[in-house]
């Protein structure tokens, strides 16, 4: 049997054992953000939602840019020129694409995206991913691509962003009717989903009621049949024409 020794701090009664401080975590993110994990865009955008089509369509020259935030960058072509002979050789420049998990304050999630170094600098300058996606600019809409467009729509359905747009519209002097028309408190797709849920619940309640009625009807039918059989047996016995049992038939034979 291996002997279990006491720790060194307990061997001497005069020695005081001082607990050591916990080691460094080597993480610069706050504890609230470090354990959130990262989500792909397809898991952030609600499934089955009727998202409007991207107005600028898919990229035809650099199709990889449709799968991330590339900021309109694509492959560039040019020449390498020799200093001595000035000979030219064809070459190409690829955008610096990185895989980053960017935190969205509105959605309270870290989204795993493909972004270029240029877009990362723009996001830092704008003040975060949400501000980059929500900026009202035709140039910005062209840079977003399909992924950025879907994330932008998802942000615009949250109560925080809706309240922000409503306040901005009030400051511009827009009437309350137009504000309620363009920025309703509950989006249309959420209302449609709630209506579908209510319809399903009503259908389930109707099916349960039908099953209860059918079960009650079968019970009544079986009870009525049992009553009829009992009445027939009683009438036969009263008339004396009841059928003899097997024991009675066998005794008559002998």
- Per-residue model confidence as pLDDT tens digits over 53-62: 999 999 888 8
Q: How far apart are CA 163 and CA 141, in angstroms?
A: 22
Number of domains in the chain: 2
Question: How far apart (Å, rounded) are the C-alpha atoms in residues 189 and 170?
Answer: 24
CA distances to 102, 221, 226 from 119, rounded to whole Å, are 12, 75, 82
**Quick check: is 97 in a domain?**
yes
Do 91 and 128 lie in one domain? The reply is yes
Mean pLDDT, residues 64-83: 93
Q: How confident is the model at residue 92 (pLDDT cuts 50, 70, 90)?
A: very high
Residues 138 and 177 occupy one common structural domain:
yes
Does a structural domain hold residue 249?
no
Q: Please check whether residues 151 and 203 belong to one and the same domain.
A: no
pLDDT the model gives residue 68? 93
User: What tokens does 27 get?
Assistant: 């993480």
Domain of residue 107, residue span: 36-183
Displacement of CA 49 from its chain's centroid (Å): 11
Whether residue 69 is found in the same domain as residue 140? yes
Measure the CA–CA gap between 183 and 174, rounded to whole angstroms.
Answer: 12
Label residue 235 by pLDDT band (50, 70, 90): low
245 lies in a domain? Answer: no
Does residue 230 sit within a domain?
Answer: yes
Residues 99 and 210 in one domain: no
pLDDT attached to residue 223: 63
**pLDDT tens digits along 107-127:** 999 999 999 999 999 999 999
Q: E-strand spans in the chain?
A: 38-39, 76-81, 88-93, 97-104, 109-116
pLDDT of residue 100 exceeding 90:
yes
Same domain, yes or no: 198 and 112: no
- Mean pLDDT value across residues 153-180: 88
* Residue 247, domain member (yes or no): no
User: Based on the domain organization, do 153 and 195 belong to the same domain?
Assistant: no
- In DSSP notation, 22-70 reads PPP----S-HHHHTS-EE-HHHHSPTT--PPPPTT---SS-GGGGGSB-
């Amino acid at each position: 049997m291996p002997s279990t020794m006491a720790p060194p701090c307990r061997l001497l009664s005069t020695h005081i054992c001082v607990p050591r401080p916990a080691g460094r975590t080597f993480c610069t993110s706050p504890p609230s953000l470090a354990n959130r994990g990262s989500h792909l865009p397809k898991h952030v955008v609600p499934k089955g939602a009727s998202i409007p089509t991207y107005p600028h369509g898919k990229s035809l020259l650099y199709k990889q840019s449709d799968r991330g935030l590339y900021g309109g960058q694509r492959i560039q072509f040019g020449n390498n020129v020799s200093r001595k002979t000035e000979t030219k050789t064809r070459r190409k420049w690829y955008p610096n694409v990185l895989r980053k998990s960017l935190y969205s304050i509105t959605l309270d999630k870290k989204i795993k995206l493909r972004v270029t170094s240029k877009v990362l600098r723009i996001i830092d300058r704008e003040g975060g991913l949400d501000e980059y996606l929500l900026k009202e600019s035709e140039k910005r809409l062209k840079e977003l691509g399909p992924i950025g467009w879907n994330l932008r729509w998802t942000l615009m359905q949250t109560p925080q962003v809706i309240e922000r747009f409503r306040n901005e519209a009030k400051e511009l002097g827009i009437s309350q009717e137009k504000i309620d028309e363009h920025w309703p408190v509950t989006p249309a797709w959420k209302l449609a989903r709630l209506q579908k849920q209510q319809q399903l619940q009503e259908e389930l309640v109707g099916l349960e009621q039908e099953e209860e009625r059918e079960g009650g009807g079968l019970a009544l039918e079986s009870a009525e049949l049992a009553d009829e059989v009992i009445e027939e047996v009683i009438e036969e016995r009263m008339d004396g024409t009841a059928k003899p049992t097997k024991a009675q038939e066998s005794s008559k034979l002998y």
